[in-house]
Structure 1
Amino acid sequence: MTQTQPMIENRPPSVAHLFLQRVEATPDHEAYRYPVPAQGGGPDQWRSLNWSQAAQRVHAIAAGLMELGVRPEERVAIASGTRVEWLLTDLGILCAGAATTTIYPSTNADESSFILADSGSRVLFAEDAGQLAKARERRAELPELAHVVVIDASAVPGGTADDGWVLSLEELERRGATYLETRPQAIKETVAGITADQLATLIYTSGTTGRPKGVRLPHDCWSYMAKAIASTGLLGPEDVQYLWLPLAHVFGKVLTAGQIEIGHITAVDGRVDKIIENLPVVQPTYMAAVPRIFEKVYNGVAAKAREGGAAKYRIFQWAAGIAREYAKVSQENRRASGNPSVPFGLSVKHAVADKLVYAKIREAFGGRLRACVSGSAALAPEIGYFFSGAGIHILEGYGLTESSAASFVNPGEAYRTGTVGKPLPGTEVRIAEDGEILLRGPGIMQGYHGLPEKTEEVLEPDGWFHTGDIGELSEDGFLRITDRKKDLIKTSGGKYISPAEVEGQFKAVCPFVSNVLVIGANRNFCTALIALDEPTIETWAKEHGQEGKPYAEVVASEGARELIQGYVDRINADLQRWQTIKKFRLLPRDLTVEHGELTPSLKLKRPVVEREFQTLIDEMYEGTREA
Structure 2
Amino acid sequence: MNAYIVGLVVPLIFLLYRSRHSADRKRRGLPAAEAAGEPGLAVRNHRFASPLSSAWAGVATLAELFERTCRKHRERVLLGTRVLIQRDTDKGPDGRIFEKLELGEYRWLTYGQVFESVSSFASGLTALGIRREERVAIYADTRDRWFIALQACFRRNVTVVTIYASLGEEALCHSLNEQNLCQTEVTTVICGLKELQSLGQVGGQLDSVKRVICMDDDIPYRFSSLDAQNGWTSTSFSDVEKLGRENPVEADLPLSADVAVIMYTSGSTGLPKGVMMTHGNVLATVSAVMTIVPNLGPKDVYLAYLPMAHILELVAENLIAAVGGSIGYGSALTLTDTSSKVKEGKTGDATQLMPTVMAAVPAILDRVRDGVHRKINAKGGLSKKLFDIAYGRRLHAINGSWFGAWGLEKALWNFLVFKKIQAILGGRIRFILCGGAPLSGDSQRFINICLGAPIGQGYGLTETCAGGTFSDFDDTSVGRVGPPLPCSYIKLIDWPEGGYSTNDSPMPRGEIVIGGPNVTLGYFKNEEKTEESYKVDERGMRWFYTGDIGKFHKDGCLEIIDRKKDIVKLQHGEYVSLGKVEAALLASPFLDNIMVHADPFHSYCVALVAVSHPALEQWALEQGITILNISELCKKEETLKAVQASLLKEAKAARLEKFEIPAKVKLIADPWTPESGLVTAALKLKREVIRKTFQEDLSQLYTS
Question: For residues 354-392 of structure 1, what are the alpha-carbon distances to aligned partners after superposition, in whole Å with 9 as ceiling and x for unaligned?
Answer: 455333211212111112111111111122122223324
Q: 1:59 to 1:492 in 2, by over 3 A?
A: same
* Offset at residue 318 of structure 1 (A): 5.5
Q: 5+ unaligned residues in a row in structure 2: which ranges?
A: 1-40, 88-100, 178-182, 338-347, 496-509
Number of the residue aligned with 2:197: 133
* Offset at residue 587 of structure 1 (A): 1.9
8 Å CA contact 2:672, 2:678 repeated in 1: yes
* Offset at residue 206 of structure 1 (A): 3.0
* Offset at residue 177 of structure 1 (A): 0.5
Number of the residue aligned with 1:338: none
Find the residue that maps to 1:480 and give its secondary structure. strand
* Offset at residue 218 of structure 1 (A): 0.9
Question: For residues 498-530 of structure 1, what are the alpha-carbon distances to aligned partners after superposition, in whole Å with 9 as ceiling and x for unaligned?
Answer: 33333222223x222101222334231233222
Question: For residues 470-504 of structure 1, what are the alpha-carbon distances to aligned partners after superposition, in whole Å with 9 as ceiling and x for unaligned?
Answer: 11112222111112211023333323333333322
* Offset at residue 155 of structure 1 (A): 1.7
Is 2:516 the counterpart of 1:441? Answer: yes
Question: For residues 64-93 of structure 1, what are the alpha-carbon distances to aligned partners after superposition, in whole Å with 9 as ceiling and x for unaligned?
Answer: 101111111111111100111111111111
1:172 is aligned, of 240, 253, 258, to 240
Please identify which structure carries the higher helix content: 1
Describe how 1:139-150 pairs up with structure 2 within 5 A: 139-150=203-214
Number of the residue aligned with 1:8: 52
Describe how 1:295-444 pairs up with structure 2 within 5 A: 295-309=366-380, 312-313=383-384, 316=387, 320=391, 322-327=393-398, 329-330=399-400, 342-344=401-403, 354-390=414-450, 391-434=452-495, 435-444=510-519
Number of the residue aligned with 2:33: none
Number of the residue aligned with 1:32: 79
Alignment partners' CA distance in 1, 2:311 and 2:485 = 16
Alignment partners' CA distance in 2, 1:263 and 1:357 = 34
8 Å CA contact 2:168, 2:677 repeated in 1: no
Q: 1:487 to 1:11 in 2, by over 3 A?
A: farther
Number of the residue aligned with 1:513: 591
Q: 5+ unaligned residues in a row in structure 1: which ranges?
A: 331-341
Question: For residues 406-449 of structure 1, what are the alpha-carbon distances to aligned partners after superposition, in whole Å with 9 as ceiling and x for unaligned?
Answer: 32211112253211112111211101112110001111111111
Q: 1:133 to 1:406 in 2, by over 3 A?
A: same
Number of the residue aligned with 1:571: 650
User: What amino acid sits opposite 1:448 in the alignment?
Assistant: Y
* Offset at residue 319 of structure 1 (A): 5.0
Number of the residue aligned with 1:335: none
Find the residue that maps to 1:500 and give its secondary structure. helix
TM-score w.r.t. structure 1 length?
0.90
Number of residue pairs matched?
Answer: 601
Is 2:265 the counterpart of 1:205? Answer: yes
Describe how 1:487-498 pairs up with structure 2 within 5 A: 487-498=566-577
Describe how 1:184-333 pairs up with structure 2 within 5 A: 186-187=250-251, 190-191=252-253, 194-208=254-268, 210-234=270-294, 235-276=296-337, 277-309=348-380, 312-313=383-384, 316=387, 320=391, 322-327=393-398, 329-330=399-400
8 Å CA contact 1:556, 1:588 repeated in 2: no
Alignment partners' CA distance in 2, 1:311 and 1:512 = 25
Is 2:668 the counterpart of 1:608? Answer: no
| Bigger mean CA deviation after superposition, 73-82 or 566-575 | 566-575
Q: 1:354 to 1:153 in 2, by over 3 A?
A: same
8 Å CA contact 2:581, 2:596 repeated in 1: yes
Find the residue that maps to 2:589 and give its secondary structure. coil
* Offset at residue 584 of structure 1 (A): 2.4
Is 2:145 the counterpart of 1:64? Answer: no
Find the residue that maps to 1:376 and give its secondary structure. coil
Find the residue that maps to 2:427 and give its secondary structure. coil
8 Å CA contact 2:492, 2:550 repeated in 1: yes
Number of the residue aligned with 2:507: none
| Bigger mean CA deviation after superposition, 343-352 or 373-382 | 343-352
User: What amino acid sits opposite 1:385 in the alignment?
Assistant: R
Alignment partners' CA distance in 2, 1:155 and 1:275 = 30
Alignment partners' CA distance in 2, 1:319 and 1:110 = 50
Alignment partners' CA distance in 2, 1:322 and 1:527 = 39
TM-score w.r.t. structure 2 length?
0.80
Alignment partners' CA distance in 2, 1:448 and 1:566 = 44
Alignment partners' CA distance in 2, 1:212 and 1:133 = 22
Alignment partners' CA distance in 2, 1:11 and 1:440 = 23
Alignment partners' CA distance in 2, 1:603 and 1:201 = 22
* Offset at residue 311 of structure 1 (A): 5.8
Alignment partners' CA distance in 2, 1:90 and 1:256 = 11
8 Å CA contact 2:480, 2:560 repeated in 1: yes
